[in-house]
Structure 1
């Protein structure tokens, strides 16, 4: 199993996000039904694992974004306290990792959405406000950088993996407009063995989060006829 470590003219422009569903976290969340239980239509593309969008809906009228706290859930298979594990992590350290990932992902979305005359991030609903619910699921920490007695260096080829679960809503009505799932694995230095430490883990997490944020920004820009930036 691959692992991760840290210390939308029309809404259909979100087509840039979707790809044929493959085995992994996305497959555990949704079936391959073309229409979701809440009326969203599955769309295929190349840049994410799974996307559902509401037919006929448009993002062109949204010029601002609401971005709340990011929820983070570890993979059920991640258990650094299991017998024989090299890493011994306290409850406090686990929460530090969770909050660190949450803040990192939110910061990357916030920065990318607002950059270069972008989309103001606001706290109040309105007719031109798109509400985003961003969650990270299936977070698997490969080599957490925690202080332990007699700690030795750990070298890894992948810092690990995490999956984005994003939902976009009309902020006034609460109607869901799109749902995106995308799993990403960190590939440290082209798969070469690399010392896993807090700085490297932070950098790898930022790369993944910024990639997701850029795809969302691209979809919003396309909806507003702005093209590539």
Structure 2
């Protein structure tokens, strides 16, 4: 049996106040990222201003920050959860086709592995060739990055839970799914929130057999894009 599944793009999910962070660069626009100006500028309750032309779905940053003084980065362990927004409607599972145990929720083992992979990606991107030092604790001239990966939406039930996993059946999807990054950047000495952001990431849109290997490759691709965007944004902000 061959099953085809398509996944529609999902909107940005915010849990309470927007929890997020990074300075984002240009998305679809070729214009550089910049804070909104004037009386109509969109601002959060804690004084952060909306960043226009961000590569992320939504970014806010504090005005008049001297980003060039930050030479060290401390990443809190990333939290990866199966949490969803209150209005989330889980996909309907065809028990006859997928089996009685089919599920779209990842087990804790997979969530822990995703958290570990995020840390590995950070170390790969911020290597010795980059102008930032990864440190083990917050301190002067340090940015603290608190991030969470949540609202994970698979485009097919978990491979090991499908009836087709132990049969000759195959499931093909346009992409493996999507997940939401929520993050916040703070000053390592004062704890002041300097920026917030949120972004939904997904792998490339190409029809492929939906397997654990294929899905894991997409996770790594999304992580690398997020961390590279953050690195490039920091370098651009520090150069201004």
* Greater radius of gyration (CA): 2
CA RMSD of aligned residues (A): 3.2
Aligned equivalents of 1:177, 1:123: Cα separation in 2: 20
Task: Verify: 1:131 aligned to 2:144, yes or no.
Answer: yes
Alignment deviations for residues 146-165 of structure 1 (CA, whole Å, 9 cap, x no partner): 16663432111111011111
Task: Verify: 1:221 aligned to 2:235, yes or no.
Answer: yes
Task: Verify: 1:153 aligned to 2:194, yes or no.
Answer: no
Which stretch shifts more, 98-107 or 198-207? 98-107
Deviation at 1:203, TM superposition (A): 0.9
**Contact persistence 1:17–1:50 (CA under 8 A):** no
Give aligned pairs, total.
204
Q: How does 1:19-30 map to 2 (within 5 A)?
A: none
Structure 1's unaligned 5+ residue stretches are 5-12, 21-31
Q: 1:63 to 1:89 in 2, by over 3 A?
A: farther
Task: Verify: 1:163 aligned to 2:180, yes or no.
Answer: yes
Q: How does 1:34-53 map to 2 (within 5 A)?
A: 34-53=42-61
The match for 1:57 is: 65
Structure 2's unaligned 5+ residue stretches are 1-6, 11-21, 30-39
Q: 1:180 to 1:17 in 2, by over 3 A?
A: farther
Aligned equivalents of 2:98, 2:111: Cα separation in 1: 20
Q: 2:111 aligns with which of 92, 98, 120?
A: 98
Partner SS, residue 199 of structure 2 = strand
Deviation at 1:109, TM superposition (A): 2.2
Alignment deviations for residues 10-53 of structure 1 (CA, whole Å, 9 cap, x no partner): xxx92516789xxxxxxxxxxx9811011111111141111110
Alignment deviations for residues 75-96 of structure 1 (CA, whole Å, 9 cap, x no partner): 3547589673826368x96112
TM-score, with length taken from structure 1:
0.76
The match for 1:187 is: 204
The match for 1:14 is: 23
Deviation at 1:176, TM superposition (A): 0.4
Aligned equivalents of 1:81, 1:18: Cα separation in 2: 33
